[in-house]
Structure 1
Amino acid sequence: MAPPKSSGRRKAASPENAPSPSSTTAESKRDTATTRRLKKRELDRRAQRLSRERTKSRIASLEKLVEDFQGKETDGQVKALAKSLQSVTKERDAALSLLRNLGFSINHHLSSQNVTSTDPTPASCGAKTENATFDNPTKASMDSLMGSVEPQLPDGANGIMPAQIASPNPLCLLQELDISQSSLSPPDAILSLPDDPIDNTLPDLFPADTIFDPIQPPEADLISPASMPGCGCHPSSQASESLNLWRFANEVLTPSHGLDRDEADFDEEWQDDIPVRAVVDGWPSIEAKLGRLPALWNKLRPIDDVVFHGCGKVERIAMLRLMHDLLLYHSEPSTERRAKIQPWYLERPSQAICHSYAINFFAWPGIRERFVFYQHTYCGNIFWRLFSSSLHMLWPYEFRDTYSLNVETGQFRITDAFKQRIDDINAWTMTEQIFEQWPEFYSDIPAFARLPRSLTFKTSKSPNADAEATPKEGQHAQVKSFSESSEILPLLT
């Protein structure tokens, strides 16, 4: 009989229950990735802890440094240094603004020269200057130097640039800030600022109201560039003279606000009648007829009474009408009003520079440009005395031929012939008195030459008659036609 099988014998391991090599490898990879993440987190926490400790240490060091400064501050040295820093920063900003405006002025001037060399005809020059876009390599280089920052020019109605452009004058900035040449460093030195953490922390550690005195804005002056003490138009000089006419003209003409459309239309409706009535019947007659003076004519009345009182009647009507057209366009710009202004009366490139507003009303472009750069040479009252006594409008007829009267409406009207004469720049002449004082005006203003009264016409024509009547080569055609009396010979007919 066979012995019974032992119940304690262990069964052989089944192949299905044995661990596979692939599962063992996957578990080991997971353990390795987890370990790496834990180590990275630990390193990040240590780095953040060290960074916070360094920041706290830096703050503590700065606070200690400030305490040392405050402890040693007995004579106001830090306050003086802070004020000096503010002054230098202000000069740096002004110099930067100066460079930007100089760059814009240079670009504008170069663009104008480019247009002039392309097409020399005045009509095309005027059109291209207003509407063309210029490609100039110098402009690109200047833009790169100045960071491509240019002042934005205001646009007039219907995309037309206004006649008056108020741009900062770089020369004005230098005079007003009194920046010495030594403080004007190269552009790199001006634009570079120290990057020191202590300097950047000072504004937070020292309250501005305890260190810096408030900066008071400079009083607005209508004369630009500002006049210096001793100049005829400087406010301190008003004690010696009762009134400086140049400052008076700028105070009166400078617009304080715009003109609403209804007021502009009313002003324009009477633009022929008012200058004639003011000269013929006096300014009070206008108020008696209309009840009040229109806004713009209210500005021109003191100019006529004070500045132009020495001019002739023909010249007064011409000046009032010319100035009113420009003043009306500045106050309420439109395409129609701009079309009434002659090309020679529109702004020159130099008038893009900040300048006194009254400069815009001179008839001669050369005089306007001369005043933009050298107005304080001519700002004394002697200029206006000679101006009013020397101004001569070439008008070959009598004064009564400058206007007509509508008997039905009772309104005066400037004749078409006189309007054409006003629109002719060659008709705006000066006598020799003003040229004796300032000979440089010969290149800017047509000269009125009165021939001797003993000179008369001959009945027989001599062989040299044509040569005598024709201006010599190189001689400026000073006048067109005029007839003061039968004894005055016109140079040109």
Structure 2
Amino acid sequence: METGSKPRRRDTDERRVEKKRIQDRLAQRATRERTKNRIAFLEQRLQSLEASDKQGEISSLTRIIDDLRNDNHRLRNALVKIRTAVDQTIPAMEDHCDGRNSWKACGCSTNLDCSCRTTSRTTSPTLLEHTGPPMPNNQAQRHDSTPTEASDVSEVVHGNLGLCQPDTVDELNSAETFFDFNPNALLEMFEMGTTSPNAWDPATPSPLDFRLPSSETVKTAPDIDKWHVSNGAFTNALNSVKKRAGPNLELDLHVPFKAAIWGWDNVGPEAQHPVWLALRQVDQRVFGSWKSKAQRIALMYVCQTLMQYRESPTKDNLARVPNFFRPRPSQETIQHPAVIDFLIWPGLRDRLVFEHKKYTATGALSAAFVQNFNFYWPYSDRDIFGHNPVTDRYEVSKVFLEYVYSFKNWTMRPGFFQQFPEMQDDIAMFEEPPNFPGAAWMG
């Protein structure tokens, strides 16, 4: 009996041990599973925290890069203006010491680095060869009242192309003066930022920003007031220049280019001339919505030629006025608002001399005029300047001036004639040119 009970007890103990082992293995497996899950959770949490920190670090670095880029732009602008100021000051000091005349024969101030009589000059090949898109077909035609032809432009503008030119047209070439700017900085400023006058204003004040304090953005006048704003500006300018003691020799022709690059607030004291004060008011309050720098510069340039002639009606100054911009008989015999004299199209000037009250009672004409005005410049704004490889400097492109003096490049878009169909015989309509490779219309 005792012998039989011992094997049963031994079997019971072995079963208990085996059961205990199974339970231990299950417990260990569960523990390992919990540990594994915990490790996976912690690793995932760590990755999430690292990712969040990386995004914050990227944002911080991006802000630092933006701040450095803004400082770089301001410093680049500052260096360009410092160099310009130095180049203008040194000749003035030398002239003062030597007692020489302060003005050159071409009409430019000796404070400026003028190359009006330079005969060996080049621009970019694309500009010299006229490989851009052809003019629209209707732009090759003009009305009988138009007192200009392409040959007239060639006689006036091509003074530096080695052709025989009378001395009286040398004044025109004063517009083709060199800009002694750093080439890269000049072109970057043309393409950098927005078209706002404060395009380069820093987000926060910087001790490195030496520029003149920028005034508040000038608001564009309501359409109903644009005619009167323009007329008042031109009238005041003409009255001011007539009261000046001497002829207008100190008119700085660089001003419209500087205004387009830096904004009017940063041009300098030369912009205080009555002519530029008037054109600034018109540029900002009437044509403030224009995006094309070429269009703004072209209009300011032709307007100042007429103002300079009005102040000093000499043969030389008349030669600089585009033929299509010279007064019509109706303008010389009938009293009319001054702003009419500064409208591009002779036919439109004739019409408004007789009917300006009809068209200016509301702001419809001003609104359509500003919105649809078109100066044809098939290149980018940076092509207003051409690179001279000899001097490694940028000069005002002769091709740009050719486009300015060519009447067929001044048109109105079709929307204007939908409102004023009777003016189709006064103003040429712009038609989009064929889309040639490389053609860029700057409206």
**Where on the TM-score scale, by shorter chain, does this alignment land: which range?**
0.3 to 0.5
Q: What TM-score do you get using the length of structure 1 for normalisation?
A: 0.40
Structure of higher CA gyration radius = 1
